[in-house]
A and B are shown apart, each in its own frame.
Chain A
Amino acid sequence: MSDDGDRASAPELSISEIGMGPPRLEKIVGPAALADTAASVADLFGVEVRVFSASGMMLAGDPLDAPALIGAALAMARGAPVPPDQRGPANERFRLLPIEYDGRAVGTVLLGPYALPGDVAAGMRVVQAKSVDALCRHLSRVLDLVMWSGHKALLTSTMHLATMRESYRELQEKNEKLNQAYARLQELDRLKSNFIATVSHELRTPLTSIMGYSEMLAEGIAGPLTDEQADFIATIRTKSDQLLGLIVSLLDMSKLESGTFFVKPASVVVVDLLSDVVATLTPTAAKKGVRLSVEGPADPLPTVHADEDRLRQVFLNLTENAVKFTPPGGRVTLSAAEGIDPRDHEGLALLAPVHRAVEIRIADTGVGIPRAERDRVFAPFYQVDQSSTREQGGTGLGLAIVKRLIDAHHGSIRIEDNDPRGTVFVVTLPCAADVESMPPAGSDDLLNSDALPPIFQ
């Protein structure tokens, strides 16, 4: 905002001020054209015409040596109350006419000198009083037309110029971003090839040997084993399996981070997928004494646009976690319902019908996650229980991968409390139709976020 009490010294019109303040007379009419009009009016009516602007400029007419008269004209141009009929230095008559625009004074017209019938004024043009009034009305109309057209043209040209500049700036910005993204992609492409080759070779090859040899030992190829030796070998094999799992997770993670991870989206029926996950994990849960179940709404849910294998990985991971952290006798419940994106609070009346989403809740009755930890659990290698003697194992990569997979599907994940105890992981995934038809702006936070690999941006 501008608290300016001095309009005359207002700076150049900026775009946000377009149409806001009173326009300046000299800016919207050309002084040369105005002088011509004044001269032609003077010719027609035989009375001289001078035009002054609010900023104190004389825009048309010959110089006049009458300071008091000019002072009155300028005062009127600035909006001060000045009587219209004035007398000149030799007692000749003058008439002041305010020029107004949108209810504000922007200038003054000074008519004269002239004489009325009966005046003692040798050599001066004598006009009827009603002719002066008619001339004033006529001039008012003409000036109003000129101001209006001029102002409209000024606004149009200013907007035109500003719009062109803005479009150019926008294009430049986009070009710059594209160039940067392209350079980054090339670099990532190179790094990705190196990294994946290195990791798979350097880590997986020796591990495969370890696993192979321990298998041979277990099979007794190098001679019979004592019970204790067989136990040790079994431990080596279990731990090697875990290590291989971790390496595979790391590879997934690196692919997700570098943007070389591809989702192959198709329409997925969420409830079927959840039933599948529950069927897979029921033996594990049963062994631990945890009840595992799935609930869906009576009406079929809209399908989501996702890579089914990756989504299965997400829900397997979350459900496995839930079972892991739930003590025997507890229960883990998977449910799905239609929901809206929780971030769509603003403009809900407009967005809700087009931003449809499916909300999946994985609720357990386990140890729960403290409120302060909830944002951090999605960071790679983060564990709520950091103590070396923690009860539950795990690589600390599961939720980080889950989060990135959901991001890659333009979805969101959050954690809520389960009543009376436990945790609910709430995953929201946009529906198939929504993803296909919404413009990129529809999910600007996600699509423009730097946290996303470039391939999804």
Chain B
Amino acid sequence: MQLDFVAREVTIKLVYYGPALSGKTSNLQALHELAGNDTRGRLMTLETQNDRTLFFDLLPLTFRSKDGDVSLRIKLFTVPGQPMHAATRRLVLQGADGVALIADSRVSETQRNAESFLDLKQNLKDNGLELGKMPLVIQFNKRDLPNIRSDAELEKLAQRGREPVFKAVAVQGTGVIETFVGLLFLTYRTLDRTHDLSKRLGIQGEELVRTAATQLGVTTPIEELLGQKMGGNFDGGRPTP
């Protein structure tokens, strides 16, 4: 996070993590589509010839508080999912304020999802960060494909876990906003707790997140949006038994 008191700007870094081809870049593309011109910056993709992410994708989003006094700048990064880019993933994670793990819903990808999560844990550790303290949401993407893990199964597991879990079809834009707003909400709440953001900037933090959601074209109340999650919670604590 970067805080600029003169310009009254908060810049937050969010990273979309996950196994190769799970739809991290698709999530950014969908957000880019959904965001208005005032909000979105250009989506920068550093990719190889085969459309595979090489270093990262970067989508800058800028939200302004209702009175236009404070800017919330979000830098959305993706990591390259292929195993060989381990060093790049570790670098992109540096200074991350929140992470969304984009998992592939197909049964055949279960192992790779788990490996990616453990890779995330290890890379955070190598960067001196603790997974338990990192705002984290999980997205099960590609819900439209056959041979996926069932809703009932995900629901059951999500309720035993700590992280909010969202379902999505990123290429159709479904569930993308929910995941993003969920992550932003969780991240802002954590930063507010650790850095006293709202007080230092003299703003209503949750109001700012609410405004951000509106600028993404969300008309439903934010509580309803966050309620789309299956299990997990937004308190960063353990699930209630």
Contact = CB atoms under 8 A, between A and B. Distances in A.
Contacts of B2: 1-2, 4, 17, 20-21
A155 B58 CA distance: 10
B163 A347 contact: yes
Contact of B13 (A20, A156, A352): A20
Interface string A347-367: 111111111000000000000
A155 B55 contact: yes
A444 B118 contact: yes
Given A156-B46, A166-B87, A19 B77 contact: yes
Interface in A330-384: 345-355
B116 to A, nearest CB: 8
Interface stretch (A107-115, A247-255, A271-279, A434-442): A434-442
A439 B115 contact: yes
A274 B184 CA distance: 51
A170 interface: yes
Given A5-B6, A346-B121, A441-B122, A19 B75 contact: yes
A350 B58 contact: no
Given A7-B4, A156-B55, A347 B238 contact: no
A61 B103 CA distance: 53
Given A3-B3, A5-B6, A21-B11, A160 B122 contact: no
Interface residues on A, range: 35 or more
Interface string B76-99: 010000000111101100110000
B238 A345 contact: yes
Contacts of B5: 3, 5
Nearest to A103: B62
Contacts of B110: 350, 353-354
B114 interface: yes
A102 B41 contact: yes
A148 interface: yes
Tell me whether chain B's interface is mostly helix, strand or loop, or mixed: mixed
A350 B113 contact: yes
A389 interface: no
A348 B95 contact: no
Contact of A167 (B87, B118, B231): B87
A437 B110 CA distance: 12
Contact of B119 (A17, A103, A354, A441): A441
A441 B118 contact: yes
Interface string B159-184: 01111010000000000000000000
B88 A163 contact: yes
Contacts of B6: 5-6
A348 B157 contact: yes
B240 interface: no
Interface residues of B, number: 55
A4 B4 contact: yes
Contacts of B56: 19, 159
A7 B9 CA distance: 12
A142 interface: no
A349 B158 contact: yes
Contacts of B77: 19
Nearest to B88: A163
A162 interface: yes
A1 B118 contact: no
A7 B158 CA distance: 43
Interface string A92-107: 0000000000110000
B208 interface: no
A16 interface: yes
B3 to A, nearest CB: 5
Contact of B44 (A3, A152, A441): A152
B46 A1 contact: no
B225 interface: no
B220 interface: no
A437 B115 CA distance: 11
A49 B114 CA distance: 57
A15 interface: yes
A439 B19 CA distance: 14
B154 interface: yes
B162 A345 contact: yes
A347 B85 CA distance: 22
A369 to B, nearest CB: 25
Contacts of B113: 350
Interface of B: 1-7, 11, 13, 41-42, 44, 46, 55-56, 58, 60, 62, 75, 77, 85-88, 90-91, 94-95, 101, 103, 110-111, 113-115, 117-119, 121-122, 131-132, 138, 149, 154, 157-158, 160-163, 165, 195, 231, 238
15 contacts: A5-B7, A16-B94, A19-B58, A155-B44, A156-B46, A159-B46, A159-B55, A345-B161, A346-B121, A346-B162, A347-B131, A349-B138, A349-B157, A441-B119, A442-B114
Interface of A: 1-7, 15-17, 19-21, 79, 102-103, 148, 151-152, 155-156, 159-160, 162-163, 166-167, 170, 345-355, 437, 439, 441-442, 444
The 3 closest A-B pairs by CB, nearest first: A16-B95, A16-B94, A166-B87
